[in-house]
Amino acid sequence: MFSGIIASSGVAIGNAFVLKEVEIQISDGVLDKAEVEADIARFRQARDSTVEQLEAIRDKTADKLGEEEAEVFEGHILVATDEELEEEVVSAIRSLKPADAALNEAIAVNVSMLEELDDPYLRERVADIRDVGRRMLKNLLGIPVTSLEEVEEGSILIADDLTPSDTSQIDLEKVWGFVTNVGGRTSHSAIMARSLELPAIVGARVATDRIQSGDMIVLDAINNKVLVNPDASALDYYRTLREQLDEERIELAKLKDLPCETLDGKTFEVCANIGTVKDVEGAERHGAQGVGLYRTEFLFMDRTQMPSEEEQFEAYKSVAEAMGGRSVIIRTLDIGGDKELPYLDLPKELNPFLGWRAIRMCFDKPDILNTQLRAIFRASAFGRLKIMFPMVISVEEARRLRAIVADVKAGLGHEGVSFDDHVEIGIMVETPAAVMVADLLIEEVDFFSIGTNDLTQYVLAVDRGNEMIADLYNPMAPAVLRSIKRVIDCSHKAGKWTGMCGEMAGDERAALILAGLGLDEFSMSATSIPRVKKVLREQRFEALHKLADEVMNQPTTGDVQTALDAFVG
Ligand code: PEP
Ligand code: MG
């Protein structure tokens, strides 16, 4: 048994399907003159099959996930059909290199040439060329390319990592969950798992070492456990648990249109965290009253250049329209930390989480923020948008952001572009500095949204992605709870509101305390909404308020848990 990081909750039982990269053996001989034309034909045939496969993947991705996600494969097709590449390969074959060696060399030459360039856009092409090159070589050598196609029904995918092209090929009828060695909660595969509602554990490090294809796997992405070939009693236990979860899901679905209201009539807003417009469907299905966090990073990832203002406008507008007048909080670009954008050429840093990330980078690259804000304001005419900024640490920053917003609005006004003049502007409270000056910061903004994923790591000085100290990473630690209380109190004192968009908001036990502290809005993965709604609907606010008071007086995280246990009964 081992664990990792829960990317998408649920329980799955199935047979392991281990995705391992095969070694490609390249021929080292010399061609006979008579073989030259045949090898050129073999190369062209392999290239054509590659293009056909990539077109199929592109179409499937566009169907399942939208044109935006499919774009990466357009780039791959361009690499495969590149005429210069063809010329290089053909000429090497004519000088008697076998087709596979000729292709391998041409790819290597292109890769090393691009790697030396200073242009980040071109350097990003390296990954594309490697990826497509491997596919062409496999086609040439008759090695099966998309082993994912061999997956049988009831499989749990086990991989070092899953690329966008892997995840886009997942057939939900056959794949019931996945475990990867690398990745964190915000990695591409984790986000995809959540939008596909597929149980998944990422960052498990040892998954491909400990598991062989065919092993029976229990993927417990509720308690963060991966069991390999469990005994009969464990299997029985998990089969029952899975059935209970299925039944519970049916029960919870009945709450969809009911308000999140305590027995004595106190209401809370429950919203969804989304990464793209495709997540809106899940948000609707689970009864989200709005979007409390739209992580715009995903629009900027898995591509080779910045999305234009127009492209961003279309994306934000489609979310605004899809939510049909319900509130959507768009978070400006939060890149850096563990989220990279290859085309931005971010420097390697010793402490990336304390480094040049989020608004810090945006202040230094004003075009990025301006373009994004223009796109958001233009989209604001089509729904009810709010804006929030990540990683704020001071009043100076909040004022500077407000000034930028004012400039953008003035610019759009001059151009005669219509936008909503009353878009609320908020900040994420995710640094201890913001907590300490929350009373001052709230004067500068319309609302707060507490980002407990980062706040926990910064308050406790515990890296949120480091498995070795995962037991220290706990948002229920008194230091974090006190921070949360302070933030909520400061906003209420100023007559404003506070939401939470960190994972803690979707934890049904934590929700009892947060509601008792008077948190106004809870934003979470859509799948968590029904359970949080259920637990709050079963309580009186008065009792939750008392619980929160009691919890705030506990000296240790263990005591907090004990007080909660006693309350839940
Ligand atoms: C957070 O830090 O709590 C948050 C919601 O932002 P992210 O997880 O994207 O850093
Ligand atoms: Mg954060």
Summarised one tens digit per residue, pLDDT across range 142-170 is: 887 755 767 889 999 999 888 766 776 78
Q: Are residues 477 and 344 located together in one domain of the fold? A: yes
Considering the domain architecture, whether residues 303 and 216 belong to the same structural domain is answered as no
What are the tens digits of pLDDT across the range 41-67?
A: 999 999 999 999 889 888 877 877 677
pLDDT at site 126: 75
Q: Is 204 contained in some domain?
A: yes
| Helix spans in 211-323 (H) | 232-253, 279-285, 297-300, 309-322
- Ligand 1 within 6 A of 128 CB? no
> Is 444 in the same domain as 341?
yes
* pLDDT score, position 195: 76
Burial-class residue 231 by CB neighbours within 10 Å (0-12, 13-18, 19+): exposed
SS3 364: helix
- Separation CA 198–CA 182 (nearest Å): 17
121 and 233 inside one domain: no
Tokens of 139: 């086609």
User: How many domains are contained in the chain?
Assistant: 3
Whether residues 89 and 228 fall in one domain: no
Give which of 144, 145, 147 is closest to 157, Cα–Cα. Answer: 147
Substitution site in 501, 523, 524, 525 for ligand 1 pocket (most atoms within 8 Å of beta carbon): 501
Residue ending a domain, among 113, 141, 169, is: 141
The answer as to whether 10 is a domain residue is no
Distance CA 279, CA 287 (A): 13
Looking at residue 142, its pLDDT comes to 87
- 11, part of any domain: no
In terms of domains, do 282 and 362 share one? Answer: yes
Residues 340 and 473 grouped into a single domain: yes
The answer to the question of residue 536 being in a domain is yes
Q: What pLDDT sits at residue 161?
A: 85
Domain around 122: 26-141
Told to judge if 271 belongs to the known catalytic residues of this protein, a careful annotator would answer: no
Q: Which residues of the chain have pLDDT under 70?
A: 65, 120-124, 127, 146-147, 149, 164-165, 168, 186-188, 302, 467
In terms of domains, do 437 and 363 share one? yes
Residue 206 is part of a domain; what is its CATH number?
Answer: 3.50.30.10
Ligand 1: centre distance to CA 10 (Å): 21
| Catalytic pick among 271, 490, 501, 545 | 501
CATH of the domain at 127: 1.10.274.10
Instruction: Give the per-residue pLDDT at 285.
Output: 93
Q: What is the pLDDT of residue 120?
A: 61
pTM for this prediction: 0.78
- CATH number, position 474: 3.20.20.60
| Whether residues 449 and 563 fall in one domain | yes
Give a yes or no: residue 114 inside a domain. yes
Is residue 16 in some structural domain?
no
Neighbours of 555 (CB within 10 A): 8
d(CA 503, ligand 1 centre) in Å: 8
Last residue of a domain, one of 141, 164, 180: 141
Q: Of 83, 114, 141, which residue sits at a domain end?
A: 141
- For residue 58, is it within any domain? yes
> What pLDDT shows up at residue 280?
94
Do both 83 and 182 map to the same domain?
Answer: no
Same domain? 114 vs 166: no
